[in-house]
Structure 1
Amino acid sequence: MKRRETRDAVVHFGSDANLVREAAAESSAVAAAEGVASYDEPEADAGSVDAAGVRLAVCELSPESGVDPLAVVREALPTVPVLAVVTDAGMIDDALAVGAADVFVRRDGVDETTLLARRMDGVAAAPAASRLGSESTAQLLDAIDDAFYALDADGSIGRWNDRFSRLTGYGDEELAGMDALELFAGADRERIADAIETVVETGSATAEAELVAKDGETTPVEFTGALVTDSDGAPTGIVGIGRSLTERRERESELARLRQAVETVVDRVPLTLFEVEPDGTVSTLRGETLPRRLGRSVSGGDAAEDVFADQPEMRRHVAAALDGEPAHGLVEVGDSTLEAWLQPTLDEAGRVSRVVGLALDVTEREERAVMLDRIQASAGEVIWISAPGKESMDFVSDAYEDVWGRAPEALVADPMSFVEAIHPDDRERVEAALAEQREDPDAYEETYRVVRPDGEVRWVHDQSSGVYEDGELTRIVGIATDITVRKRRERELRLKNRAVETAPVGVAIHETAGSAGPITYVNEAFESVTGYDRDAVAGEGVSTLAGDDTDPDRLRTVASAVETGDRGSATLVLYRADGTPFWGRVDVSPVVDGDGEATHAVSFVQDVTESKEHEQEIERHLTEFGEVLADDLGVPLREAQERLNAATGDDPDAELRRAEESVERAVSLVEDLATVHSFSVEPRRLSESMRGSSPAPAGRDE
């Protein structure tokens, strides 16, 4: 057969030409995808390849083809080193026995292009064919990421790479000839012994076990082994690789802890957690909110298309998540509105392994105590999940930025950074409480101030609950609520309370629901004016201040205003607790709610005895002045009248003079009366003004 002339650096035999070309582009020995010539059938094409200029041959093998294609390539190109590519680690020994310079095992979850390029560099750098024990093969084995091992027929370790040595902690002299079972203890030793027997019987096996290193540390490892035989088919040993499962176990453990934390929250709130498998079936359901709103039961194995048959928006969310895209939105379900989150979970190969969904009924959002929808956005509530000692912050909701004024990512990076924003006057107390939180998270409940970067101060109420796994505290879930508005209202209420308590007039608060307007509160001034303490008048009406001389009509005016929630005012005789009467002015005002309905009434009680007595004194003086006006002024006026009548007689001049004298006496009396009246007119005006004035709850009559 005539050979085809070629200057290609790499010849490839197999179906995946793209992988080899991409690896060649990354290879330092080849460094060009154009330097690869690819052929589908070694039997038909290998003989036509000119070996001149070829640095490397790549031959794909499958369990169906065995190593026959490799044997054809080795025969056609005896001077070209061959890199065998297999999908089954059990073919490694057979490929090496036929003459492969190295064997690349394909597997999911790794960067095959980069690893293949590295293997191609190694083979191209050492073109002479070699067996397992050669120096070039040793270098290649040391370059792989997994631990490589070869066991002799008696189970002793005969070959290993650097990764295996680092994993076990033993040196080369210690590993040489060591019984492989010495690296395991207890049930794991039995498990590995059984796996070795399985390899001998079937040709390959895989097992997971805890490898015990020289220093006693254990590492979870997945071992894959393949049987090595001689030319007669007799077993001569086992070769295989070991892959550390530490990172995978940590991820699985972390996911389990997070799952338990989420399920703990789900159990406390009206929320449904569900999972959808890649085939579109529901595999997990926790919580009754979703089935209740759908009006049907949902079980594992139900098709998501059927579960959400009447919710096209939810079906679109599920489809998007199954395609690898997170989905979030509001979904109308009958008369209810659900907020849904769907998050795809990817495996090591980047494929969707399942979709985790959350469905929250937001129809009654304001009535819920703890709502998981605030994980994404909350009105003042920050939901967080952390390690017990705050070594890590597994989750924090977006509301953290609204309250703290700092990005949630900053808290995830530094779980204790939130303490730096706590007001200096509160920080020491909170730090002490956080130290105790590690031991008893359910007892943690603190209120403190947070200073945002812009200087604004927010009040926060923070509480937590522990998440336990097999009795051990694994996570802490907490909610920090922004109570700034509530604190401001509390301060305003305290200010109003102090104002009422220290008011200079007696204040009593009545319920309008009762028939007698029962008193629920009185201030100190009320106690001082009436002599009754709070306990004595609690539940009593305003009539408790009445006595024998109390005007019943005026009392009814006040009592009716209290009972009906109207305004009213009266000045009447009231009685102190010791029976002493006094003049009191009572003004009544209603207290209304947001709908304008009177729920309470406030009565203002003032002691106006002094003003009332002054008014009575003025009235008494006015009466006396009237008597003077009637008696003393009447005499000279009558005399003047008589003299005038007599002036028509014999001596008119004398009578006129006498009449003039009588008039002068009357004028003098009028002037005296005006002088006296000037002393009483101003107090009388004030008294009349007081009687006619409108109620002034916060004032005092003088």
Structure 2
Amino acid sequence: MNRPNGRDRAIHVGTDADWVREAAAASTVVGGSQRVASFDEAPTEAAVADATGARLVVCELSPESGVGPLVAVREALPDVPALAVVREADAVDDALAAGAADVFVRRDGVDETALLARRMDGVAASPADASLGAESTERLLDAIDDSFYALDADGALERWNDRFRESTGYDDGELEGMPALDLFAGADRDRVAEAIETVFETGSATVEAELVAKDGETTPVEYTGALVTDGDGSPRGIVGIGRDLTQRREREDRLVRLRQAVETITDAAPLTLFEVGPEGTVSTVRGETLGRRLGDGISSGDAVEETFADQPGMRRAIEAALDGESARDLVDVSDSTFEVWLRPALDEAGSVARVVGLALDVTEREERAVMLDQIQANAEEVIWISTPGKESMDFITDAYEDVWGTHPETLDDDPMSFVRAVHPDDRVEAALERQQADPDAYDETYRVVHPDGEVRWIHDKSSGVYEDGELTRVVGIATDVTVRKRRERKLRLKNRAVETAPVGIAIHETTDPGNPISYVNDAFEAITGYDGDSIAGEGVSALGGEDTDPDRVETLASAIEAGDRGSETLVLHRADGTPFWGRIAVAPVVGGDDEATHAVSFVQDVTESKEHEQEIERHLTEFGEVLADDLGAPLREARDRLNAATDDEPDEELRRAAASVETAVSLVEDLATVHSFSVEPRRLSESMRGSSAPLGSRDE
């Protein structure tokens, strides 16, 4: 305990003596840390009997002690003003009621020492009016949200609160004695100077100006000032409040923008803003769309019953709004549909002063809604709209039940339930994650398994819906491609069959002049030596050569041109010029309209069978030659002798023998005739025998 004496100017009761002494050192009234007497608890009268020069008591209060120490101080030193120090703002009223001249609420983030020094000066400077001054200081400096200020007669800052200091950005030392006009610039500085003069002349004034903070930032503030006088009425200075107008200006700007938006919308959109008075008269504020649909328009002063004579729904909604109920409904007006909002506006007494109505022409929207309902019910594809993360499925067509085998309502409770139907080998979770980032790149084909085990192939594709550059929705279409997949599988099977067929196959484009070949299989290349590139664009005549019968080639070309079937066996030539016997059969390829779209030719190497046939013919020829040589002469001699024997009335038997011999001679001569024809030039046969093997198996 530090014992007081006559030189002490302050008494401290509490535990934080160092802090109070530091504040006393900064105080202009106490004047030093050595002029503070500290007590752990409230001193008695005897303990402070020699402290007659004390100017104030600083008393710390806590939730545990309550106001007990302050009450004891006031009893011991009733004539010394007390400054109570509390931790909670809720304790302010109790401290004031216990006799505190002022209450200091401790808080983090501020310079508590400087603030305490100022409070000590304020309490010690005016002991006669300490109680009233303390309450006013507490209310103005700590409890209010606005800036408090006090100016001397020269317009320099004398007092201020925390809010004022925070708004200016200056510390207490910089604000002390600063001319108030230094916080303003330009025209605002002139307006504030005029307002200060007005206060001194009339006693009060209000002005709006931009406060310029230390860092250059400006804040719109409304300042209200009142004149302070001394006992004889002489002006001592100005006290007042500065209210930050930032939020008010923002609200005013929003209202202006809202008003402009309403005017723009009502002027540019099919929107009508109207009012209904409490007596039931209608007037248009902006927009004429509703009036035009009504035919005669909306005439100010007409009754609701007249204006909306043919719209009972509108009349009922207005009557409900006049009774204080807001309403929103769809109303048919002529051949149009309006969405109407009605809201009652109340006066100060709480009665309906008027009804504000807004009518939006939604005819096209409702027509689109009907169309959308038709699409939902009748579309064969599954059209869907969802949020990017599939939190909700906003729209899906009824075809979902046919394609997925599950009712669309299952997606309401679990938007991702469609994934569970995907075949285990066709998981799409990773693709759906990528869809969130780039929905336009999503293009997937997968299988879904119905509850009954049926499998469907699905082609699913999506694109993004963006608002202000932000992805808000994903729209997609899932098509059942099961039939197409089956056709593709059959087509692949047919393609493999064509590719691996042991007969050469060529496809001709019948829509192009000359019916050129556009495709050949491997067997065609093996038989003819022509691959697809080397024979592309050529007709069937490309297989001909010097030994080819041109008439037979023309017959095949004509059949292809006419879309008929045909077959010819003729000498063909390979790509290297070697001849071979080939059989070419042609047939049309018919489309769904029974029209030939292409032609196909089948090529076979029949050299071996043809040569076998020629070999048989050569053997027959040789046999004929032998028979003709060996039997011809004896038969002719027999014929001559028979003829001589039958000259003189031959008997019947001799005549028959002569006829038989004649027949035999004729047959032998026929065999000789056959021998005179060439079956095939020997040169061609020898050439074919050297090239009859498939190209891939011949010696190089």
TM-score, normalized by length of structure 2?
0.42
- Higher-Rg member (1/2): 2
TM-score normalized with structure 1 length: 0.42
The answer to which structure, 1 or 2, has the higher relative contact order (CA under 8 A, 6+ apart) is 1
